[in-house]
Amino acid sequence: MARKSNQERAEKNSEAAEHLPRYDKDFFDIQLQFAQAVCKIRDQSVGEKLNSYTALQSCFGYQFNPAWEVFAKRASEEGDPLDKMYEFYLTQPLAEHPRYLHSSVSDNFGCFNFEYNPSRNFEAVAIHFTNREGAGGGPLSKDNLSNRADDLRTMLQYIKERHPNVRFITGDSWLYNLEAYRRLFPDSYTAGVFPSPDEEYELMTLGVWGQFLDNKDATKPELREQFLARLKEIEPNDILKPFPLRPLRTHGPIADFYKMYGIE
């Protein structure tokens, strides 16, 4: 079966808006409890800082949404606001995936997409990963390794054709802690992995919180319990201490990607 062209893939992706999944209540719970713990130690308002310490705003879309203001205010209500907050979330339409909201983000290539913003960096693209594996098993399982390689190969070919000036690829995610993810990339890219200098910024994205979701976007119960038990370890200048895996950043020459995936 012939592989679809980049143009056919892009046309298919743009036929209908893709939406973020409907997350479960536990996913809201761990983020709310984390925000409450951080605000307590930093003497801050949970309602005002909910967007800074959680990725919950993404559930309402990445652009301004009046519903988010209503949701965030409930975080400061007395008692346990989780039930009311989650019930309100369930009344809202599913948020569109951010690639439909930002022109700098590409269409999807399987589980990958990339961000290219020439106004910030003319020679680099940032790659992102989201679970869109329709087959059985996890998106990074050995059974699906060839699928992920095909995703990357098609995306890299697209970048080479559309953005020939790009010389570097960058990444920022908890996923770089996993050998199952790193094996998809050339050694020159994974050898340069280092702790993200913008760790707290990553709290607003799935670049940190995604580690709590399984391959069906449900919260992992054991990881949830371990995380909540470690909230007491939070320090004012190290609020990510309870996280099992911290976000890592890396970059490398795109030429090595082209060589690895046979793109000339």
Question: Residue 223: what are its φ and ψ, rounded to 5°?
Answer: -65, -35
Q: Kindly state whether residue 66 falls inside one of the protein's structural domains.
A: yes
Same domain, yes or no: 61 and 50: yes
Same domain, yes or no: 260 and 169: yes
Same domain, yes or no: 44 and 153: no
Same domain, yes or no: 137 and 177: yes
CB 36 within 8 A of CB 52: no
- The pLDDT, as a whole number, for residue 1 is 34
Q: Kindly state whether residue 205 falls inside one of the protein's structural domains.
A: no
Q: Which residue has the tokens 């920022």?
A: 172
Q: Kindly state whether residue 10 falls inside one of the protein's structural domains.
A: no
Q: Kindly state whether residue 204 falls inside one of the protein's structural domains.
A: no
Same domain, yes or no: 79 and 109: no
Same domain, yes or no: 122 and 251: yes
Nearest partner of 260 among 189, 150, 185, judged by Cα: 185
Same domain, yes or no: 104 and 163: yes
Residue 209 and residue 202: Cα distance in Å, rounded? 9
Q: Kindly state whether residue 8 falls inside one of the protein's structural domains.
A: no
Q: What is the pLDDT along the chain (264 residues), one digit of tens a residue?
A: 334 444 444 444 444 456 678 899 999 999 999 999 999 999 999 989 999 999 998 887 755 678 888 888 888 877 789 999 999 999 988 766 554 444 456 678 999 999 888 877 789 999 999 888 765 678 999 999 999 999 999 999 999 999 999 999 999 999 999 999 999 999 999 998 999 998 899 999 888 999 999 988 899 999 999 999 999 999 999 999 999 999 999 999 999 999 999 999
Q: Kindly state whether residue 255 falls inside one of the protein's structural domains.
A: yes
Give the range of the structural domain holding residue 119, as residue numbers without chain letter. 97-196+247-264
Positive/negative CA dihedral, 66, 91, 200, 228 = positive
Same domain, yes or no: 113 and 180: yes
* 21-75 residue pLDDT tens: 889 999 999 999 999 999 999 999 998 999 999 999 888 775 567 888 888 888 8
Residue 111 and residue 133: Cα distance in Å, rounded? 7
Provide the token pair at 211: 């580690």
Q: Kindly state whether residue 17 falls inside one of the protein's structural domains.
A: no
Q: Kindly state whether residue 75 falls inside one of the protein's structural domains.
A: yes
Same domain, yes or no: 126 and 223: no
Nearest partner of 12 among 22, 24, 3, 21, judged by Cα: 3
pTM of the prediction?
Answer: 0.83
Same domain, yes or no: 146 and 254: yes
What domain count does the chain have? 2
CATH number at residue 135: 3.40.630
Same domain, yes or no: 74 and 142: no
- The pLDDT, as a whole number, for residue 40 is 95
Same domain, yes or no: 44 and 113: no
